[in-house]
Amino acid sequence: MAFASLPFLVPPGLAGEADVVGVKVQKSAPGVYSFAVTVRHGDEGWAHYADAWEVVGPRGKVLGTRVLGHPHDHKPFTRSLSGVKVPTGVDSVRLRARDKVHGFGGAEVVVKLPG
């Protein structure tokens, strides 16, 4: 029996949670930033893939969301989001990624915003 004929034996959710593994941030205007976020996730096709990442400010307020519309063959992968408005006085934000099976819960990264 060939292994290729046994895909149903792979337990769903084997890919685990989506992890943020890198962030580059640039200030584009006062209080406005661009983020390039690197996500690692073992995408398993359309039913289980990293489908978004977020910029989160104080008290869990979501400041920006990058929706990822398809599974990624190359891992990790980097996608950008610009025009994220950050309230005055906030000097760092948290980046987190989401996948279609587990939601949020993988590794997060906190970055200090450039002045």
Q: What are the pLDDT tens digits along the chain (115 aa)?
A: 333 333 333 344 456 899 999 999 999 999 999 999 999 998 888 988 999 999 999 999 999 999 999 988 777 999 999 999 999 999 999 999 999 999 999 999 999 999 8
pLDDT of amino acid 16: 84
Exposed e or buried b per residue across 45-67, where buried means at least 16 C-beta atoms within 10 angstroms of its C-beta: eeebbbbbbbbbbeeeeebbebe
pLDDT of amino acid 42: 85
Question: What domains can you pick out in the chain, each with its CATH number?
Answer: 17-112 (2.60.40.150)
pLDDT of amino acid 5: 33
Q: pTM for this one?
A: 0.84
